[in-house]
Chains A and B, each alone.
Chain A
Amino acid sequence: MRDVATVDRSPTTAPTRSPWRRTRARTALAVLVLSVTTLLGAAPAHAAAEATCVADVATGCINGTIRTSEREPAPGVSLEVAGAGTTVTVVTDAEGKWAVPVTVAGPYTVKVDPATLPEGDVLRDPSANPRTVNALLGQAVGALFPLVAADGSGAAPTPGATGAPGAGNGEVGTPTNSQQDTGFSWDRLAQQTVSGLIFGILLALASVGLSLIYGTTGLSNFAHGEQVTLGGILAYVGCQLLGLPLVLSGVLAVIAGAASGYLQDAGIWHPLRRRRVGTTQQMIVTIGLSMALQYTYQFFFGGGSLRIVTTNPTTLTFGPVRVTVTSLVSVAIAALVLGGVAYFLLGTRVGRATRAVSDNPALAAASGIGVERIIRLVWVLGAALAALGGVLMGLYLNATSWSMGAALLLLMFAAVTLGGLGAAFGALVGSIVIGVVVEVANLFIPSDMRYAAALLILIVVLLVRPQGILGRAERIG
């Protein structure tokens, strides 16, 4: 019954880990110099620095090939293989290959020195570095470290754990220009703040819908993340499977998203409201729906990541800050759309009616507003915004996957709670704060913990100011 995928961790490998943690904290240049010197010193000592290894009865091999994001071989990447009481440093050869012969079977830890990666490339899955492999005598085991371009193409969303119950791993990939190692500098602060603003504005597209739906119906929609995923996946289907241009498939994805919102309200939520099913019960229904939809996406599109566009984006540099053209355009679209939503809510009759329903449905109905029609409209609008958010987020993160929305959902809830549950502009403010926190937290804590920082804010906000930044105190029970 024990999972075969479980990695062996032997106590002998543990002491060798601490130096790596120290190197991570240093600046990239220092690490580069350091690794070059270690390399020069280590190479003659260890015959292992050759990229050839033949497995025989007494020898096992750990090997791999490192390729750049352009699928070219990446020479000169330094790796450390530790285990069975020794540590060996190898460097990839001109073909990007590396190999280490071992004479003792058992677990070995393989670590890529991120500073020696080709310029502009980062590991696709930093959490898989260092990685433990189980070496056997007479066999070769591989340890692959896929790379992606650091600028404009962050980490692809890693698929969730294989096997049941497959959890989304909670990471939606590393956004544009997000740097992998921690350590503070003003340039990096600027870069991360800009990344955070971009991420926050895109997140706002999704959270505004969540907030509007909550405001008008009182429903915490846990399936809203799946609306975001729907947008991303439909853009992928349009671009990659049907070969449509990106803009057209994006527009189609948003239209389909809006249609799904209409159908969902007509098919599920309107009947439930008519049956007078309470909002808590409805919330559990959204959880069931979210689960069913996630596995439906996985059923049809698999557990891997889906790239909406496969070309590498162009990057612009403003002082210390690098952004891709795609994310600038995305932010422009998002800002326009959010401005449109603001105008709709403040300046039009229907928008005023929406806010009236949000404030007090009974009073709104009494003053002649068709509450159900407004709610239907909010569902369509919310789902369309979520789909647009999904398309743009999928472009920003360079890939989408079945679990993208699920991973973003809690960030959306954090944003909406921070801004004030039910206050539409609160969701915008909250999203931007959450976006910046997630990215700037990268400077201080390991990047795979940065979502935890955002969720911690959610809890702290509830402790200090439960109605959120823009919410009103009487909303709280």
Chain B
Amino acid sequence: MAAEAKPKGVDTTKNPIPFEMAQIPGPEMAKTYMPKVIGAIIKKSKRPLLVVGAELFDDPVMFDKMIEIGKMGVPIAATAHSVKGFVERGYLNNVYQIGLHPLTNNLRFSDWMGLDGQGQYDTVIFMGIFYKFANGMLSTLKNFNRDIRRISIDRYYHVNANMTFGNMAFTPDDYHAAIDELIAAMKK
């Protein structure tokens, strides 16, 4: 009897087109990865920082998923007014309120000591941020601090990241499943 095909999980490598189509920066563009690969990379990072924005309010379940990641020891930079979502859920342990702009300004300097004073981060993971703004901030890091790995786990293909999902903006169920797979990979 043939063994049942092992589920491969959600394919997050499809649709690698900038969510705003004209955002074509140049020769170096992001590659798409499967959730478990990104999860493993985050897990292996020594100083990861999860950066989340106000689009989480449009899909509130994402707050809970981000808190799950936070509870695994990944500090969270809550940009815009997204910290309110964490306040409402009573989770502020490793959540820092900071704008994406000043955060990125700090991230581009190798001598910045981080939100906790323990040193610069080696990986940033963007999620739930207004597309064009996130794209610009990733561009800053891409060009002015290449020591930081740039990961997007947003529902958009982020062209200036190193690692990203393809566009999943119109398949919310798949996207939620992808984030769950990523979290599961981090827990392994």
A is bound by B: no
Which residues does B use to contact A, with CB under 8 Å? Answer: none
